[in-house]
Amino acid sequence: MNTHSDLKIDAKITASSGSTPKDAAAVILLKHDTDASNPEIFWARRSEKLAFLGGYHAFPGGQVDASDIETRVDNCSDVSTATMIACAARELFEELGVLVARGAERLTKGQLVSLLDDLESGRMSFPSLLEHFELYLDANDFKYVGRWLTPSFSPRRFDTWFFLVECPRKQVPNVIDGELESGEWSSARDAFERWRRSEVICVPPILHGLKTIATGLTDDLAERFLSIPQAHGEPTRCIEFHPGFICFPVRTNTLPPATHTNCYIVGTREVIIIDPASPFEEEQIALASCVDELIAEGRVIREIVLTHLHPDHVGGVNPLLAHLNGSVAVAAHRLTAEALDGSIRVDRFVEDGDVIDLDGDPALSLRAMHTPGHARGHLCFYEERTGGLITGDNIVGIGSVLINPPEGNMRDYMQSLERLRVLPNLTVLFGAHGPATANPLGKIEEYIAHRLVREANILAAVQDGVSLPAGIVARVYTDVHPKAHAMAERAVIAHLEKLETEGFVVCDQDGGYISKRKQQENK
Ligand SMILES: [Zn+2]
């Protein structure tokens, strides 16, 4: 039944999952005296190591600090706005070394460096540093261009205020080691084109910012920024991580820390809908109206495609079919179709290697990969040109994957991960839960390594004479909350079955396991 476990409980993720979004600010930095008809902005790639949106392209920014409220901001009577301006200015200084403060033009480069050092080393807070050097912020230097909420499918959520800021003359942004890995000036148009070519991945507010600025620094610039409800804190439903890869998270009865399953709508003209997942009516209506909008824009629904049989992936198939008047086919692996027989009608079987060609600009070509392990009939879909991989429940962006025998099989799962690992040109993983993963190899290798460590520890426990799965859980899963131990036991059984197949352990009559070595010694 269940698809995910919180086997690998990340305290931070658990703490912030589903909680109130944290206040944050981001800066869209415009080049000084940039060409108003083709403006240049500074954007950066986030470090691949970051748990939140690692490898994504973004604007500098971050979470509000307790001291931000103390920063002097002139021409701003509203405390919240002043605090967020202070946050934006501080983050910009910390991440790029650019100080947008009145009076900063008097400082030499060396002084700026030592100021930054005072801040980074914690010797001085941002407000006291400004005060000490007789500097202050002016709200006129920070043009408010919207406030975006991270959708609730994400393990971490922010309420981010965006400010458009012109880089002061003579100051040069410089990516400082930390959250950002590299950055550059780019015309907003070129940056947007890079996204269109699927070379970068970014979240909706960044894309909206690039698109808006690409049209030029017109008088109605701020209005254009604020012309959509998402720029006023309305949650974004459609997340187009890559052109033609729309992620539409829907609320499902999945396992924590995940609360949503990602439905993917793939294609720029002809489209397939992967995993219409939600059993909840209001979520089904939201998805249906997104699909209707796409149809109104000229897209054609080819098929509904299922990654696998679990209820938190197929809960909305029949209502969506009904909404589309039964006019589209449902496709899935034969094993998935057999398991769903009687509840969902599958019209077409998808086998390993089958290709779904989707006409459009750009055209997309999805190759099906039969990747059992989490479920027998599990399918992934690989788009080789862009390097995008729909991973279903094999690799997810939040929580971890449960291998629950007999549907789950650890040996198959490890082989499936290995097949995914060696795909050429892999750039993004579109998992069934949480945000897309922009460091695919790192993620897959982490998954494999994590399982291998568990397996080694489980084998060691058996060799030490711990025989029953529950005992093995108590010894090996010390990093896991006791609440998750029942699920961990399923994973242990999956590992033991793998070890048995490979000849390392044998199962005795009582459901316990002993190591092969010990069995031979006893004979
Ligand atoms: Zn599943």
Ligand 1 centroid, distance to 289 Cα (angstroms) = 25
What pLDDT is recorded for position 18? 53
Q: Which two tokens stand for residue 308?
A: 């696998």
Strand, coil or helix: 164: strand
Name the pTM for this structure: 0.89
In the reported structure, the alpha carbon of residue 393 is separated from the centroid of ligand 1 by a whole-number distance in angstroms of: 5
Chain segment 206-236, per-residue pLDDT in tens: 999 999 999 999 999 999 999 999 999 998 8
User: Where do we find the tokens 């490898």?
Assistant: 55
Smallest CA-to-CA distance from 25 within 126, 155, 131 is with 126
DSSP H helix total and E strand total for the chain: 16, 25
Instruction: For 388, list phi and psi in degrees, rounded to 5.
Output: -85, 135
Give me the mean pLDDT over the 394-423 stretch: 95
18 CA from centroid of ligand 1 (Å): 21
Other Cβ atoms less than 10 A from the Cβ of 20: the count is 8
Nearest CA to 59 out of 99, 82, 88, 23 is that of 88
Instruction: Give the confidence band of 508 by pLDDT, cuts at 50, 70, 90.
Output: confident
Q: Which residues does 26 contact at the CB level (< 8 Å), separation at least 6?
A: 58, 59, 60, 61, 88, 91, 160, 161, 162, 163, 205
Name the packing angle between helices 440-463 and 469-476 (round to 10°).
120
DSSP state of 345: -
The predicted model gives 96-120 an average pLDDT of: 94
CA 311 to ligand 1 center in whole angstroms: 8
pLDDT confidence of residue 11: 29
What stretches of 123-263 show up as alpha helix (H) in DSSP? 126-132, 188-196, 204-214, 221-225
- Eight-class DSSP state of 418: H
Predicted confidence (pLDDT) at residue 6 exceeds the cutoff of 60: no
Using the mean position of ligand 1's atoms as its centre, give its distance from the Cα of residue 378 in Å. Answer: 9
pLDDT digits (tens, 9 = 90+) for 12-65: 233 334 558 999 999 999 999 999 999 999 999 999 888 888 999 999 999 999
For ligand 1, the distance from its centroid to the CA atom of residue 210, given in whole angstroms, is 36
Q: How far is the CA of 472 from the centre of ligand 1 (A)?
A: 25
Query: With contact defined as beta carbons under 8 Å apart, do 45 and 183 qualify?
Result: yes
Q: What are phi and psi of 280, to 5 degrees?
A: -90, 130
**What pLDDT score does 509 carry?**
78
pLDDT confidence bin for 348, thresholds 50/70/90: very high
The alpha carbon of 4 and the centre of ligand 1 are apart by a number of angstroms equal to 7
Pull the structure tokens for residue 223. 């209005």
* Separation of CA 223 and ligand 1 centre (Å): 43
What does each C-alpha distance from 141 to 28, 33, 103, 144, 422 come to in angstroms? Answer: 12, 14, 13, 10, 49
Q: What is the pLDDT of residue 16?
A: 34
Ligand 1 centroid – CA 409 distance (Å) = 13
What is the mean pLDDT of the segment spanning 320-339?
96
Q: What is the number of other CB atoms lying within 10 angstroms of the CB of residue 282?
A: 9
Name the DSSP letter for residue 167. Answer: P
Distance 1 CA to ligand 1 centre (A): 8
pLDDT at 5: 35
pLDDT of residue 51: 80
SS3 string, 472-511, reads: HHHHHCCCCCHHHHHHHHHHHHHHHHHHHHCCCEEECCCC
Q: Side chain identity at 47, as an amino acid letter? A: S
- Residue 287 burial by Cβ neighbours in a 10 Å radius (0-12, 13-18, 19+): buried
pLDDT of residue 19: 57
Q: What per-residue confidence (pLDDT) applies to 518?
A: 77
Distance (Å, rounded) from C-alpha 465 to C-alpha 42? 59
Residue 4 confidence (pLDDT) above 80: no
Beta pairing partners, 164: 28, 143
pLDDT at 156: 85
pLDDT at 3: 36
Q: Could you tell me the distance, in angstroms and rounded to a whole number, from the CA of residue 300 to the centre of ligand 1?
A: 28
What single string gives the DSSP state of each residue in 33-82?
Answer: T--TTS-EEEEEEEPTT-TTTTT-EE-SEEE--GGGGGS-EET---HHHH
Residue 452 one-letter amino acid: L
What is the arithmetic mean of pLDDT over 130-149? 96
How many whole angstroms from 313 Cα to the centroid of ligand 1?
A: 7
Structure tokens of 40?
Answer: 């240049």
Amino acid sitting at position 428: V
State both tokens at 73. Answer: 């901001």
Ligand 1 centroid, distance to 172 Cα (angstroms): 48
For ligand 1, the distance from its centroid to the CA atom of residue 384, given in whole angstroms, is 24
Rounded to a whole number, what is the largest CA-CA distance in the chain?
A: 87
- Res. 196: pLDDT tops 90: yes
Q: Quote the tokens at residue 168.
A: 């002061």
Strands 40-46 and 180-187: antiparallel
* Percent of all residues in the chain with a pLDDT value above 90, rounded to a whole number: 85
Q: Which two tokens stand for residue 357?
A: 């060609």
